[in-house]
Structure 1
Amino acid sequence: MATTPTETPAHEGLRLRARLRYLYHGGQPAAVKFRLAVIVIDLAIIGFFLAAPILKEAGWAFYVLDYVIAAVLALDLAARAYAYSDIRDWLKRPIVWIDLFVLATLLFPAWLANLGFLRLLRFWSLLNSDLFWRTIGRRFDDTRVEEITRALAALITFVFVTTGFVYAYFRGKADHIHGYLDALYFTVATLTTTGFGDITLPGNWGRVISIVVMLVGITLFIRLAQTLIRPHKVRFPCPTCGLQKHDPDAVHCKACGQVLCIPDEGH
């Protein structure tokens, strides 16, 4: 359709922003399908990150695919930023900076090769994003399932980020660490504090890294266990004091005594 004289570039920009907001934040079937496609692409990108240590042997083909993924991620971030009402507020979100760093490792793979293992933070940012829970996890948004998933995502992300770090910096330097599987074996053995001792990191820094992995691993395991064992709570902000979590059958807020009308499923 031809652009009418009243349709200035500013108007076109507003129409584009409205369209992007509809796609990224709307609840209509078309918007949900679009976000599902975005999530599928994200999962494919994460798969590429996991296979990167092996795919690097493909030479120039690896870098071509790397830059294609960088272009896709850059377009996605630009679209999300434009769809957001306040870009400055958008930039204050930690998940955004993680995605920007991942993009930097894709744009400069030769210079940031040793930091490539941090690309797997994309998995954590995906499972902690509103886009994921408004699309795939709508039924479980703000529920115990979401809390368990987030805790499990943090643990899995830590395992693979640590594996990538050990592989990038200790391959060929530590005894028996010759491949990605060796690094994964060391990470899991250290993380679970079972450490069989057949694979260790050399030097004082190696001991420090092993200690950090064990401490963080224990913390993440405890957090996951607490999430699994903790009594079920529902999210419902108290209109008086703002307390978010209450017992499913709560009638009054435990903090201030305000009468609550927590919606249920009609049972």
Structure 2
Amino acid sequence: MESADPRRPESRFDTFRDRLRQLYHGRSPTGLRFRLAVTIVDLLIIAFFIATPVLRDASTFLWIDYSVAVIVALEIAARFLASSNMLRLLRQPAVILDLFILVTLLAPQWLENFGFLRILRLWSLSQKGVIWAQLRRTPYRDWENVARALINILTFLFVVTGFVFTFFFREAGGLAGYVDALYFTVATVTTTGFGDITLPGTAGKLTSIIVMIVGISLFVKLAQALVRPNKVTFPCPECALQRHELDAVYCKACGHKLKIPDDSD
């Protein structure tokens, strides 16, 4: 049996996959610009998801919806081709979420009650390292924890607003119904409780309780990120503790000597 010739030129498909790997995982300026461009497109898609309840009755809604579906499908396919282990990538929560979002985009009329879950893509976007890698190169790198906590709160607010609009304010419809849902969500999360807009029935009361409990927890995390001393994210090689003081030499959990890179320049 003849062995494969290592000097055999790569096929066009292999060359294309190598190119995608460089764009998604490389550190070249071209790869960085590509990932930033993908991030901007993601933000525009998320803006469409947030505005979906208001745009649903527009004549062009389905055209926009299916166009976004094509973009999301191409981006997911590109990520799989750029991955060296597709099965491991498929098990990642962010990828599973993106696949679910794609299904809701392809069947918007049958799965419209689950459309509010599309906004979870904002959380998925926050898991991409390119955003935080760029933030760490700026004078605002110490605000990473605050930014992460803020994204979590915004994601929660818009997901809950979409849920409340879908199941409680759908009859009002349009912008007015969505604003009522957002107003209720913000008033409940902040425990302001004006009482002028409430959710009816037992389901409404249970929804309000869950929103208050989870919302308060997220606000506490944001407050902690604002007031606690700045720390650097660097996993300890011995015990994997993630957060350390900026000038830490030894891990406070296990005493292992750390070699935290100094990027103050």
Q: Name the TM-score, length of structure 1 as normaliser.
A: 0.88
Q: How many residues align?
A: 254
State the Cα distance separating 1:71 from its structure 2 match.
Answer: 0.3
- For residue 126 of structure 1, report the CA deviation from its aligned partner: 0.7
1:27-176 map, 5 Å: 27-59=27-59, 61-134=60-133, 136-139=134-137, 144-171=142-169
Q: Which moved more, 1:203-212 or 1:120-129?
A: 120-129
Seen in structure 2, the aligned counterparts of structure 1 residues 243 and 101 have a Cα distance that, compared at 3 Å, is: same
> What is the alpha-carbon distance in structure 2 between the residues aligned to residue 77 and residue 249 of structure 1?
40
Displacement, 1:98?
A: 1.2
Post-superposition CA distance 1:17-37 (Å, at most 9, x none) = 110011111121211221122
Cα distance in 1 for residues equivalent to 2:171 and 2:55: 22
- Change in 2 beyond 3 A, CA 1:265/1:133: closer
Helix, strand or coil for the counterpart of 1:228?
helix
Q: 1:38 to 1:173 in 2, by over 3 A?
A: closer
Question: How far 1:149 sits from its partner (Å)?
Answer: 1.3
Change (3 A) 1:228 1:110: same
What is the one-letter code of the residue matched to 1:48? F
Q: Which runs of at least 4 in structure 1 moved beyond 6 Å after TM superposition?
A: none
Q: 2:229 aligns with which of 222, 228, 231?
A: 231
Consecutive unaligned residues of structure 1, counting only runs of 5 or more, are 1-5
Whether the 8 Å CA contact 2:36–2:130 is kept in 1: the answer is no
Tell me if structure 1 keeps the 8 A contact 2:21–2:82. yes
TM-aligned CA distance change 1:7 to 1:229, over 3 Å: same
What SS does structure 1 have at the residue aligned with 2:152? helix
Give the share of equivalent positions with the same residue, in percent: 54
> Which structure ranks higher in relative contact order (CA pairs < 8 Å, sequence separation ≥ 6)?
2
Cα RMSD of the aligned pairs, angstroms, is 2.1
Structure-to-structure mapping, 1:195-214, within 5 angstroms: 195-214=193-212
**TM superposition shift of 1:216:** 0.6
How far apart are the structure 1 equivalents of 2:61 and 2:74? 20
Q: Which blocks of at least 5 consecutive residues in structure 2 are unaligned?
A: 1-7
Q: Which residue of 1 aligns with 2:219?
A: 221
Contact 1:128/1:150 (<8 A) preserved: no
1-structure distance, mates of 2:69, 2:136:
28
